[in-house]
Amino acid sequence: MSGFSQHEQERRRMEVNNQATPNEIVNPLEASMGEKLYNLSPVSPMRCIYRVPNRLRHANEKAYTPNLVSIGTFHHGNEALKPMEEHKMRYLKAFLGRSTLSLSGYILKIKAQEERLRSCYIETIELDSDEFARIILVDAAFIIEVLLRSYYDHLVDANDCIFRRPKLIWDLWPDMLLLENQLPFFILEDLCPQLINSSSGGTTRRLSMVVLSLEFFNNWRILGIEGTVQENDVKIRSQQEVKHLLDLLRTLLMLPMLESQNGGNFHFPPSTTKLHQAGVKFKVGPRKSLSSIQFIDGILEIPKLILEDHTELIMRNVVAYEQCNFPSKCCVSDYVLVLDSLVDTAKDVELLIDYGIFENCLGDSNEVSRWINSLNIGVGYSGDFYFSTVCQNLTKHCDVGWHKRMANLRQNYFNTPWRTISVVAAGILLVLTFVQTVCSVISVA
């Protein structure tokens, strides 16, 4: 320390003397960090219920936030949703009344699967075992009762606030399809009671949650596509395990799946107006699925989409689920990106309505254009883009100048019978004039 002044040497000696030993510093810190690392739970491969990423949420906060009821743990305790808790308890009472199992029996069922239930959430649930089991039981019974009463009208009495006055079902069912408001499907199947079937001599049978859910989707036109879907059409059980209601809805929107299209370089197609000007013809696709977009022989087939108040909410939550849960093959996300490229302005919306591809129940084409253009905010896509071949073929078609010239002739000169007659007559007159001119020149010669 000879390189320092006497004053500096004295100051450094005092600092060393006042410091604790290294073990006194490291051991408490090491113990604290070690305990946290030891108690840190691994990320479960079963996770399927997520928080909506901020890159998607900021485009429309309301589309991801429950308006009437909380399902599961993420929004439990929200003051704005507490009035619904009393109705949920009424439904639990009715649920227990029609079941062969007691309240304690259901609690034991949930406790037996508590670890599996907790692993379905992306976040660690900071609730004790009793409170967690209570929330799951009340919310699961509520969902099952809603599905049962939607399936069986006779289960709805005159005082039911959900299906009768004030008919809260209109505000309720969108909340049941929010990504942050899901319950694992397996617990619904496990708790679903056996009901007495009067048509078969009073025997009991356990209802399929898939059947109940499909009827629920069909009753409220939740799918937003033409027609209804039956269990035999999708055979959903044989394809994959249903994670939750939103997962089932996503699968139904994309069935039947066509063969995967090639990835590779591609450009998104021009708007509907520009495709129309390039001679592309539009046709409503025959399949009841968003996946069935095809471009064959100059005809673009797109499945019919019903645009209603809830369409944006459903699209956004299915896309958010895909973006969180599927590293590739985000088919609905890819559909949204194609839809956004086809719609730039209200004129594009009106053309798609004229072609029968959109059924607009919203009234305002400008509003439809606005929310379709906002659907793609924050949406990413992988190299395995589902509609890449369609996009490639549309781009190639539009790059051929002959298609645009022929389309211009058809749309501006042969678009009505009278214009066709006028153009043909003008052509004949031009030919006759030319012939007359030639004859005159010959006679003079």
**pTM of model > 0.95:** no
What is the SS3 assignment for 334? helix
The answer to whether residues 248 and 213 touch, using CB atoms and an 8 Å cutoff, is yes
Q: What is the residue type of 356?
A: G
**Measured between alpha carbons, how far is 178 from 313 in angstroms, rounded to an integer?**
8
pLDDT-derived band of residue 218, with 50, 70 and 90 as boundaries? Answer: confident
**Measured between alpha carbons, how far is 161 from 174 in angstroms, rounded to an integer?**
17
In this structure, is the dihedral angle defined by the CA atoms of residues 134, 137, 143 and 145, taken in order, positive or negative?
A: negative
List, in order, residues 6 or more apart from 190 with CB less than 8 Å away: 109, 113
Structure confidence at residue 237 (pLDDT): 42
Give the mean model confidence (pLDDT) for residues 19-36: 72
**Measured between alpha carbons, how far is 233 from 229 in angstroms, rounded to an integer?**
6
The answer to whether residues 370 and 346 touch, using CB atoms and an 8 Å cutoff, is no
List beta partners, residue 299. Answer: 281, 296
In this structure, is the dihedral angle defined by the CA atoms of residues 421, 424, 429 and 430, taken in order, positive or negative?
A: positive
Tens digit of each residue's pLDDT (9 = 90 or more) over 65-123: 999 999 999 999 999 999 999 999 999 999 999 888 999 999 999 999 999 999 999 99
* Least trusted range by pLDDT, from 48-62, 274-288, 374-388, 404-418: 404-418
DSSP 208-277: PHHHHHHHHHHHTT-S-BSS---HHHH-HHHH----SHHHHHHHHHHPSPPPPPP-SS------HHHHHH
Structure confidence at residue 240 (pLDDT): 73
